[in-house]
Structure 1
Amino acid sequence: MTKPIRDRFDDVPRTSGRVGAHRAEAPGMNGWVVLLWSFVAALVLIIVGIFGSLVVMGRISLFPEAVPTATPTPVETGVVDTTYSVMILNATAEEGLDTQLRDDLINAGWPAETVYSTDSASQDFQTTTVYYIADEDELAAIGLANLIGGANVSQSEFYAGLNETDQKQLTVVIGQDRTAAGPQEPAETPAP
């Protein structure tokens, strides 16, 4: 066998400190940094998993539907109009409620000659109600109902014949809710 020819690499010393240095760890990485990055990655995966589960279960909606908002209907406050004549009917068994309400209306500005009071043929009317005849009388009826401390308001021509003049009229029927005993529940009939 022949001897190999010598080249320049034969003169390199064999004990260099850099042998295999390209495989060494990066000089800035230590155990705490790796642990911190592992913790952050685990936390992000957990949060994404929880959020994804809530979306799949329907607890969170990514694109919620717009809920239509209900526009509030304005409440009519009514107008106190003392040009109306007022008929007050006491539809309870308690005496004097019609006279008391008549005095209250006169003190509120109604002329005494336009406020009438009497007992009704019925004595078991449940809720005090202000009745008006025409549509244009509704605001005056609401104003009167508010003035007497709250009452129902209803349109009816039943009491139209009580007025002998051409003056516009409102009718107040006093119910059990204005008595000292309060509203009475109708007696239940026993089942056969």
Structure 2
Amino acid sequence: MSKYPRDEFDKVPETSSRQGVHRERLIPSRSGSLALIITVGVLALVLGLAAYFVLPRLGIGQGEGASAPASNSSTPAESPESRPAGTETAEPAPSASPTPSASPSPTPSPTPAAVVDRSQPVVVLNASGIGGLGANVSALIAADGWTTAQVANWGGTPLQTSVIFYGNAEQLPNAQELSRVLGIPNLRESPEFTLVTVAPGPGFQ
């Protein structure tokens, strides 16, 4: 019993099951808690099944797994030092496609050999001062098939050696052949001479 005097709020019987007109029951019902737990468990199960079956089909999470075996491979790469002695690396097969061959370059035609024309007459001018030398030279070239057009003495500037004169390039083969026959190595081109002219000088043998 309370020691305070009773008032209008004390009219409620003390044995009543009511705890207060303005309060609600604070203890939750067990049936609501059980339903919440079941709902959460079902949602977790559905999410797990979806992650297990659906995500692999979408390709999510497979990139890292596919590259892992390559990076964690325990087989060492073969190096030239690790190969057994006598083992050679196979060379790649040559390509079967035909290699375009270079077009053959035209073969240069050989330069025609110089033609010696013994039908061209030769002039002999004695520049040695020795009488009869011109006639002897004329006889030597006649023995090789040449024709002497004139035999005379040299009337120009005295020569220090024997010379064979020719007027142009067409006469050069004849001059070279006479040089071989007479042993005179000195050849001079001069347009003043219309025919190949042999001028035996001092020391001619």
> Which TM-score band (shorter chain)?
0.3 to 0.5
Bigger Rg, structure 1 or 2: 2
Bigger relative contact order (CA 8 A; separation at least 6): 1
